[in-house]
Structures are given as C-alpha cells and as structure tokens.
Chain A
Amino acid sequence: MPKVKVPRKSTAIDMTAMCDVAFLLLTFFILTTKFRPQEVAQIDIPSSTAQIPIPDKDILMLQISPDGKVFFGLDDQNTRLKLLTRLEEGYSMKFTDDQKNAFRLTELWGMDVRDLPKYLSLDNNARAAYIHPGLKVDTTGGDPQLENLILWARQENNNLRIAIKADKTTEYKAFDQVIEALQNRKVNRFNLITSARSAKE
C-alpha cells in the first residue's frame, strides 16, 4: 500500500484580520478611556439601586475617607483657577504662576486653605506623596473654610453639581458635618455616589 502523504501546511497564518481587530479595539479603548484620577484616599463606595449616572462635567466632588477626612475636588480646570483667585482675595494670599499651575492640575486636595501655598510649591513627586490632612471642616474662629469653598466654587460656576463620595465605613457624623456645611450655603440638593447593585440582596 502506498503511503498517504499528508501535505505539509505552512504554519504562518495571515495576521491581517487579527491585526485589524486588535487595532479596532485599541482605538475604541483609547477613545472611551477616562483615566482614573489619582486617589488621595482609598474610598470604597457603597452600592445602591440608583440608576442615574453621574454627569460628565460641572462636578464639585466632596470625598470623605473612612477616618472622616474631607477632600475637595473640582473637575474643571478653569473653575479651579477662578476658585484660587477667590482664595487669594479671601485669605489674603498670593500665588505664583507655578503654584497656580500646580493647583490647576490638582484633582483632589484636602488641607487647611492656609497650607495650600506650601503644598503647591512642592515638586510633582512630593505632591503625589503628600498626605492630605483633610479640609478644615469645623468653623472655629469664624472661619468656615468648607462653606467658603462651596460658596465660591458655585459663584464661579453656576451649573456646579455637588457630589458626595464617602466610604462605606465613614461615620455618619462626618457625613452630617459636610451636609450641614452645604445646607448653610443653601445647597439642598446633592448627589451621593454609589455603585450599582440589584434590589434582590
């Protein structure tokens, strides 16, 4: 019997289609991606059945870490600069252009407003490693910093929506302080940020 010869096929495959797919997906991800902002504090948000997605812009984010520190974040860089100008006036400080630029790029911060110049003159790496002590929430000495920040930010951007992002284990007390500050500035409508879940649980 003659041997049946199996024809040898080349192992080289046509990669063109695969390459097309890969780059198509790549394009999709590049276009849809929105990088995670640097995190000042680890915050694990609770889940709820709420279905409203957060708006893309005009957000004033107040984050509350598990130990009750409050952080302040504005999404729009122009509003950040305008807010800094207001801070200069309100707390009679003077910022250099470098400091202003640093503030423009700061997504989230939390410290006594008077410590800002020191923080903003640090270099990039030092700023990333800086441990934020949290905003000054108590109003001792007639200096309601959180309320001022909220008021000035809203005056600079009228469409600003206020979002509160707090950790699951944040105590209600800390959350209440923030709400109190908001209500003192006549903000009665705000958003709590949660992740989605089903109602079954």
Chain B
Amino acid sequence: MAEMNVPDSGAKKGKKKVRSKKASTRVDLTAMVDLGFLLITFFMLATTFNKPKTMEIVKPAKDDKVKDEEVPAIKMSKTVSLLLGNNDKVYWYVSPDEVTAETNMELDSVDYSSKGLRAVIQRRIKEVHEQWTDTTNLFVMIKPLPGSKYKNIVDVLDEMTINDVKTYAILKPDDPVDSLVCVKVGQSRK
C-alpha cells in the first residue's frame, strides 16, 4: 500500500511509516440544513413583508381670521354631495343653484362598489363637463355622518384618486339639505 516513498523494497516490515488515517472531509450537513430552514421559517413568519401604504390627506388650515364672506362661493351645479351613512351606504345629491318652484332634487343611495359610487362620480364629471366647459372640475363634498365607518371615508378618498377628482373637501353635514336627507333616511346628523 504505502510503498511509494520507501526506497528499499526489502525492508517492508518494521519501518513502515505510520500514517494517520485520512478522515473524509465530508460532513453530514443534513442537520445543519434542517436548522437553516427552521430559522428561515421563523423569520419568514415573524417578518412584516408587505409594508402598509399610506394615503396622504391635507386639510385646509383652520384659520379664524378668514371670514365667511371671503371664502369664494361655488356653483352648486358644479358639485356633488356625498353623505356617508351607516351600513355602507352613500346618499348623494346635487344641490340646486337656486331654489325655485320647479326645483326638483334627486336623492339616491349607492354602495361603495365600482358600479355604485364610482358610476355616480363618473356620471357627474360628465354632466359637469357638458353643462359647463370641458375643463371645469367636479367638486365633491364629502360629508361623513357619525354613523359611518373609517373604511367608508378611506373608500371615498380612494375613489377621488381613482377618478382623478382633484377638488374635494371633507365637510361637516351642516347644510339644510343634509338635515333633510338625514331625516328622510333616518340617520342622526350629529
């Protein structure tokens, strides 16, 4: 076996070099792999992988110095009012510019789906474009009632982004029409 370095082939016995047994360098890695995957599983479950997103809201500054008269009025026919009620309902109406004997107001309730609220907003955008100019922006007045949920306001704000409505405001439902609507649908306004 180990004769290579032995010059004298006659002296086979006795002076044989003692070689340490070469241990194989292969280690059984199975256990290590097990451990590795166990830790991976732990970290995968413990980590928050998809980061939540945010929706930025900018509210107009509350400034006591600005008097009511200085706030520019807006033609009601350029607007749509959305009253967010309970049970995931939106009551929407368009206030008339001027109340006359023939004034007829439409009040409807829709849900937050793409066939409900989105259709209303898109319809109003079109109507405003037809009635005024193509560059006239629809102004959406969002009026959450106390019974509405947080999800509702997020949904409505989201519809603003989806439909590219740049002019909208979150208001308190203190218009006389709002009280009328609230009474009609049986919801509290305050």
Which residue numbers of A lie inside 8 Å of B, CB to CB? 12, 15-16, 18-19, 22-23, 25-26, 29-30, 32-36, 45-46, 48-54, 64, 163, 165-176, 179, 183-184, 186, 188-196, 199-201
B interface residue numbers (CB < 8 A to A)? 28-30, 32-33, 36-37, 39-40, 43-44, 46-48, 50-62, 84, 113-114, 144-155, 157-158, 161-162
Contacts across chains A and B counted by CB atoms under 8 Å: 153
A146 nearest CB across to chain B (Å): 16
- State the majority secondary structure of interface residues on B: mixed
A interface SS class: mixed
Q: Which 8 A-B pairs have the closest CB atoms?
A: A22-B36, A15-B29, A29-B43, A191-B54, A168-B151, A50-B55, A33-B47, A170-B150
A176 neighbours in B (Cβ, 8 Å): 144
Q: Within the complex, which residue of A32, A48, A64 is in contact with B55, where a contact is CB–CB below 8 Å? A: A48
In the complex, A18 Cα to B47 Cα: how many Å?
Answer: 23
**A32–B162 Cα gap in the complex (Å)?**
32
Known pairs A29-B47, A33-B46, A200-B114; A52 contacts B54 (CB<8 A): yes
What would 6 A/B residue contacts be, using CB atoms closer than 8 Å?
A35-B47, A49-B161, A188-B58, A194-B53, A196-B50, A201-B113
- A172 to B144, Cβ gap below 8 A? yes
